[in-house]
Copies of this chain bind each other. A is one copy, B any other.
Amino acid sequence: MAKKQLNVGLIGYGFMGRTHSNAYRNVNAFFDPEYQPVLKTVCGLVEGEAKAFADNWGYESHCTDWRQVIDDKNIDMVDICVPNNVHSEIALAAAAAGKAILCEKPLALNVAQAEEMAKAVEDAGVANMVSFNYRRVPAVTLAKRLIEEGRLGKIFHYRGQFLQDWTISSNVPQGGMATWRLDVKAAGSGVIGDLLAHSIDTAMWHNGPITKVNALTETFIKERMHAETGKVEPVGIDDACTFFCRFGNGSLGNFESTRYARGHKALFTFEINGENASIAWDLHDLHRLSWFDHNDEGKLRGWRSIHVSDHGGEQPYMENWWVPGLQIGYAESFVHQIADFLEGMAKGELAAPTFRDAVETQKVCDAVLESGKTGQWVDVG
């Protein structure tokens, strides 16, 4: 059956621009959505770089003004891969123009922005999604299924970490295209929006709403040079954040993120302890899921390391790839994301997380940020 073409306009050609482009190019070779994304145009600040990006990934054209993308009647879908402080403006315009929207996380700088964006896409009735791609690592999706099947029983604990070490040197600058994540004006926050947003999205997907939080934040290096101006300026972001919380289901949460954990590059982890079973996972071995089942026979109980590479249809997404034992990597999570987004469009049921879902994550992020400042428990929402 012939596919429906979906013309994509990508805004932002950084790291996420690459992961998304790769996904568009490959999704239809592995999955079978009704839609076929067409790489129509890419937009970015520096003309030469935008062109090189377009050439490399096969975009038909490029531009440097995102409004051109919005105004282009041929574009069906806008993909927002720019720094956080520009998400809102672009998304509102795209919604107004009736485009489907995929937006990088965190959705916004704060709840107010996020709410406005959610309302805009709902009012416009356009397809929308936020790129919390880790939900679609097969092991993470499998964890979700196990929880939904009720295998854990009552849940007591949920733990999450996102540990990196790339800003330990005081020579790392802030601002600019490569290090905007350290610039509070562009990023809004530090590890909270960049990393904990993933932890929070996954945790609430797995374990339901977080109701109150209590956080500790720290900025270890107080001043950094700006990448573009060369001026040494105060650092406004949080370098590290730990928070504990209560979930609506009575379980306790413990979360931590930092960019000062020497030896960990992108150690996103979670562990869930239930009455009957426990689950653990980490991004450094994303193709495995750890599983402990108290219902196993006593003398044989132990943590299982499940190599999530089966192809019998029992493990999410995996039967579309290779053969058992052969692992996929990081990039495939974005392929799954696009596949589900397209399938959702075809069905008329938006794939989660929508902008509305991301508002809930933003609420927790804001509460964490506030608690870090006040030193007090903060109710979410």
Contact = CB atoms under 8 A, between A and B. Distances in A.
Chain A at the B interface: mostly helix, strand, loop or mixed? mixed
Given A15-B323, A325-B265, A305 B307 contact: no
B294 A262 contact: yes
Interface string A227-266: 0000000000000101110100010101010101111111
A330 interface: yes
Given A263-B273, A299-B314, A310-B298, A330 B322 contact: yes
A323 B266 contact: yes
B15 A22 contact: no
Interface in A139-189: 142, 146, 156-157, 159, 163-166, 168
A303 to B, nearest CB: 5
B214 A292 contact: no
Residues of A in contact with B, size category: 35 or more
A358 B131 CA distance: 45
Interface string A297-339: 0111111111101101011000001111111111110000000
Taken together, the copies of this chain in the complex come to 4
Contact of A25 (B26, B216, B286): B26
A28 B56 contact: yes
A166 B273 contact: no
A61 interface: no
Contacts of A29: 21-22, 25, 56-58
- Residue from the set A250, A293, A322, A329 with the largest chain B CB neighbour count within 10 Å: A329
A214 B375 contact: yes
B307 A304 contact: no
A305 B303 contact: yes
A362 interface: no
A19 interface: yes
Contacts of A244: 216, 242-244
A164 B273 CA distance: 11
B242 A254 contact: yes
Given A29-B57, A156-B220, A273-B260, A286 B325 contact: no
A267 interface: yes
A299 B26 contact: no
Contacts of A299: 142, 306, 310, 314-315
A287 interface: yes
A164 B325 contact: yes
A19 B304 contact: no
A218 interface: yes
A169 to B, nearest CB: 9
Contacts of A142: 299
Interface string A4-28: 0000000000010011011001101
15 contacts: A142-B299, A157-B261, A159-B256, A163-B273, A216-B252, A243-B244, A263-B301, A266-B324, A284-B327, A285-B285, A291-B300, A304-B304, A305-B305, A322-B331, A328-B330
Given A265-B325, A303-B305, 19 more contacts: A19-B322, A22-B26, A29-B56, A156-B258, A156-B260, A168-B275, A254-B254, A262-B275, A262-B278, A263-B303, A283-B325, A285-B288, A289-B302, A299-B310, A299-B315, A301-B310, A302-B307, A327-B330, A376-B376
Interface of A: 15, 18-19, 21-22, 25-26, 28-29, 56-58, 142, 146, 156-157, 159, 163-166, 168, 214, 216, 218, 220, 240, 242-244, 246, 250, 252, 254, 256, 258, 260-267, 273-278, 283-289, 291-294, 296, 298-307, 309-310, 312, 314-315, 321-332, 375-377
